[in-house]
Chains A and B, each alone.
Chain A
Amino acid sequence: MTGRYLLAGTHLGVSVAAFGVAAALGLLQALSLADIQFPHRSESLYYTSMTAHGVLMALVFTTFFIMGLGYVLAQENLGRITGRSIAWFAFWLSVVGSVAAATTILRGQSTVLYTFYPPLKAHPLFYIGATLLVIGSWIWGGVIVASYHSWRRDHPGEPIPLPIHGMLAAIIIWYLATAGLAIEVLAMLIPWSLGWMKTVDPLLARTYFWWFGHPLVYFWLLPAYVLWYTVLPKVAGGKLFSDSLGRVVFVMFVLLSVPVGFHHQFEDPGISAEWKLAHTVLTYSVVYPSLVTAFTIIASLEVAGRMKGAKGLFNWIGRLPWSDPFFASVALAMIAFIFGGFGGAINAAYAMNSMVHNTAWIQGHFHVTLGTTVTLTFMGATYWLLPRISGRDLRLRGLALVQPYLWIAGMVLFSTSYHIAGLRGLPRRIYSASLTGEYSQWHGLSMVAALGAVFLFASALSYVTVVAATWLAGRRIPAPAFEFASSLRPPVASIWDRFGLWTSVAVFLIIGAYAYPIIQLLSHHRYGSPPYQPF
């Protein structure tokens, strides 16, 4: 690893390590749910490992990966990382925070799942550790923004490089989203967990949590989209179909990612139906940029196939580089998102949500979206990044190529079973699908899901093995250059580059969507809840 990429590479290493641990825990959960015995199987292990799996996957794996990717994109597209020593400080802050939170989880002191809804109370270090991770990510965002401003001074009037445009959008979403989390954790959960406050209002905390919790998924998704828009067409041997629509898409996410949280709270009391309906409208609006993306990316792939000489309606598909691990991963990730996206539209369907709310359908859903669309894209991107940042040839290339197919096969079994089981009423987050032992109508489906989890674990293990083998024992090569896709028409600077303006509009929308309902919540005659630790 050369000095220039040490920062990004170190982030990537933490990310992959967290992913490997979390994947192993995930397998145990799927086995437990299917009532398959293994040594040390217990209720307490199950819920502890579920908390660890959620926190490591959703917060540690993703955040570290995105931070590392952000540094690579800044280095390559802006030619600089402004504030490298501050970036290292942010890295260590994030690591210390993650380790602190993970330690309290593994010691069984914070079995509150990654949603940590009060009045379940975790160890104070769980909240403090998570806060340090988020502060680390805030500093990372600041470093990328500072690098952009420094670049801008040297390049007045130029369009923002598209990879940076998308990454800046993700950073703005992250700041807007974590504002809600900061209120929940700093003003409520930390003082309450330390005993300085006797009670908290669980519904108010949930509302702040979902202000953060849904845009969180766009913070994962946008870096994946950046890779789809700016790297995939290049790897496929073509060009980006439309640069300007890419910018429109990223701006739409800035505007619409945050004011949608009530679609996670449809079944909550205390929030009026009108406001839930308002968030429903905004939730469907944020589907739109993904529909536009579907066209642009597939059109870009068609361009690639035709540039390689494909004729006819469909034979461009065969001309695509299916034997490239990055391409195969991302292509499968995109196919999964067709199903994940429509599943999401069902979840968001207001009253229809009661058919799926908190059933196994939900875990089926987010394993297709976060667990496949985002995860497979990041896995594929690792195969693209690693030789370029380490100057080592990818080891075990065959395994790297099989790995995404193994993942998708596992996910078809895993996710489809849970979707069906959820529609048949299997509650979410349970130790055993036989519940008290009397009911086993979900047993068969949970067995299929467990088989899927075995495939998924094999795929995860392959991924970690390829990464470790390349890192430690890859043949030294001159590092290939980072190359990004050019677009059919050259990019132009336009209103879609004016993030100051769009951020203001986004803040306005968030205030519109949340101010009144939160004032309403605060004005009830409310009773708080003392802490509980039933674990």
Chain B
Amino acid sequence: MKVEFYEKVWMCAAVGLLVLFLGTIVLTAANDAVHPPSHVETVDPMALANNPEFGNPAVTVHTDGSVVVSVVTTMYSFSPDPIVVPASRPVTFRVTSADVLHGFQVVGTNANAMAIPGYVSQFTVTFKKPGEYIVGCNEYCGVMHHNMVGKLIVSKESE
């Protein structure tokens, strides 16, 4: 198969571009553990009320100082609401749904995960800037989907 010289140059450059993109992704994934939330854990969505963790979802500060936020999403609210967490410390979110699919997105940050009934989404975020953030549901969940809005308060480190 004959390929013109300039097209060959372009084809090699295109390979180079894609290798550059992929290299960046694979390198940061391998070296800095930059991954999308990919936790594997199941939970009975019909029995969340009796679940020790999701029966009363809340912010828990463990003795080692780590912060864990358990969140239950339902039509059309987040629980707990508001969520209050300290600034500049790793906060681990554990999110599930009691009914249909929902999204859990903290506007203005990279905290963004699907809430899927039967599964627990888990990811860790450090909020540097204290203040109030909007928590939005970004997956269609019914006729009042747009009203499913919560609040996240990042408090100053001293507390």
Contacts and interface: CB of A to CB of B under 8 A. Distances in A.
B17 interface: yes
Interface string B38-55: 111111111000000000
A520 B41 CA distance: 12
B53 to A, nearest CB: 15
A345 B101 CA distance: 26
Given A276-B36, A354-B36, A494-B1, A43 B100 contact: no
Given A269-B40, A349-B25, A351-B34, A357 B112 contact: yes
Interface in B86-142: 99-101, 103, 105, 107-108, 110-114, 116-122, 134, 136-142
A111 B100 CA distance: 13
A432 interface: yes
Interface string B133-159: 010111111111111010000000000
Contacts of B140: 47, 113, 120, 429
A291 B11 CA distance: 8
A38 interface: no
B113 A269 contact: yes
A259 B114 CA distance: 21
B116 A527 contact: no
B138 A351 contact: no
A350 B21 CA distance: 11
Q: Give the size category of A's interface with B.
A: 35 or more
A280 B22 contact: yes
A351 B99 contact: no
Contacts of A529: 45, 99-100, 117-118
- With most chain B CB atoms within 10 A of its CB, the pick from A113, A358, A424 is A358
Given A202-B116, A351-B34, A527 B22 contact: no
A279 to B, nearest CB: 11
B116 A270 contact: yes
Contacts of B28: 351
Contacts of A427: 103, 105, 136-138, 146
A43 B132 CA distance: 28
A527 B137 contact: no
Nearest to B133: A425
A436 B147 contact: yes
Interface in A294-328: 295-296, 299
Contacts of B64: none
A11 to B, nearest CB: 31
A354 B112 contact: yes
A535 B18 contact: no
Interface of B: 1-4, 6-7, 10-11, 14-15, 17-18, 21-22, 25-26, 28-29, 34-46, 75, 99-101, 103, 105, 107-108, 110-114, 116-122, 134, 136-147, 149
Given A245-B1, A299-B4, A534-B144, 12 more contacts: A43-B143, A120-B140, A268-B38, A269-B120, A270-B119, A287-B18, A291-B14, A292-B10, A429-B140, A489-B2, A525-B42, A527-B43
